A = this chain, B = another copy of it.
């Protein structure tokens, strides 16, 4: 493998001159530059990333910290990882995966070994143990998720409250005065799933403001149980003819539960939902909905992180991604 010394020799210049044309720092005579570029091409030279990192104290890599529970069951994770890698590559950064059964250990080791210039933490929840190693250190990091106390760390997330507002408004404008709010199980709210809390609070507030009443159903985990529960609720006499859904498992099973109950959308039931974009694709969900915005969220996260790497001492930032309503004709107008 050719080194910068080989290139310098081939071009008949000093190594520092090669370095100068490599990273465009200094002005180099066009003719000299040409000689260097020819030598680089001839020798098929590439900068050794590790050597550059040692000299600059910049690894040009970011670590993405996957929540250890997340690995279990998550069609969305890959989308975020690939999007992160693409976004980072666009800025000349690499992405290294930080996973660990033991949670904060992977973060601590990566930071200590100076393997990464910054961190992206996926799916941050309240009191997330992965924050421990970096809180107070000023190490550049950005959370995807929005815990109540950001502890001085930058954060990006979809604006779940605004999403709830869009969906409730959509039902209200269609004339619905009552809706079943199919939501996550209570444990999730208790465990600090802040997106769930933000959605639920906003949904209740907006519904109240709109004079709409909400029947809440906390859905369990597991496709079969969800399907059975939903079918039972749908069949109940006097059930509202609109559904507001914030629960991926429920959204996925809802078409089948509706089928089980012999109900058509939108003729018999209007449905709106907030769920992950991957879920919508995987199950071809036919509902008017607000979807997660992995590309936008990741784009902002990388942008914030790189800014933070460049300016570690600026005030922490929280950024909410504006949700969009995707219309799919699952809401009928009521008189």
Residues of A bordering B, CB below 8 Å: 1, 44, 46-51, 53-54, 59, 61, 64, 66, 70-71, 73-75, 77-79, 81-86, 89, 94-101, 106, 109-110, 112-115, 222-224, 256, 259, 278, 281-284
Contacts and interface: CB of A to CB of B under 8 A. Distances in A.
Given A66-B85, A73-B281, 7 more contacts: A46-B109, A50-B115, A71-B78, A75-B78, A85-B97, A85-B98, A256-B259
A74 B95 CA distance: 20
B99 A85 contact: yes
Contacts of A224: 284
A94 B78 contact: no
B99 A48 contact: no
Given A89-B106, A284-B222, A284-B224, A47 B97 contact: no
B99 A89 contact: yes
Interface centre among A50, A73, A86, A115 (most CB of B within 10 A): A50
Contacts of A81: 77-78, 81, 97
A80 B98 CA distance: 14
List the 4 closest A-B pairs by CB distance, nearest first.
Answer: A46-B112, A77-B78, A75-B75, A49-B113
A210 to B, nearest CB: 33
B54 A50 contact: yes
Contact of A48 (B75, B82, B97, B114): B114
Nearest to A283: B223
Given A71-B79, A78-B71, A78-B78, A97 B95 contact: yes
A67 to B, nearest CB: 10
A262 to B, nearest CB: 13
Nearest to A88: B97
B96 A97 contact: yes
A48 B111 CA distance: 10
A101 B86 contact: yes
B101 A115 contact: no
Contacts of A85: 66, 97-99
Contacts of A100: 86, 89
A110 B92 CA distance: 12
5 contacts: A44-B112, A49-B115, A78-B81, A89-B106, A94-B115
A75 B114 contact: no
A86 B114 contact: no
**Among A78, A94, A224, residue most surrounded by chain B Cβ atoms (within 10 Å):** A78
Contacts of A278: 75
B96 A82 contact: no
Nearest to A72: B281
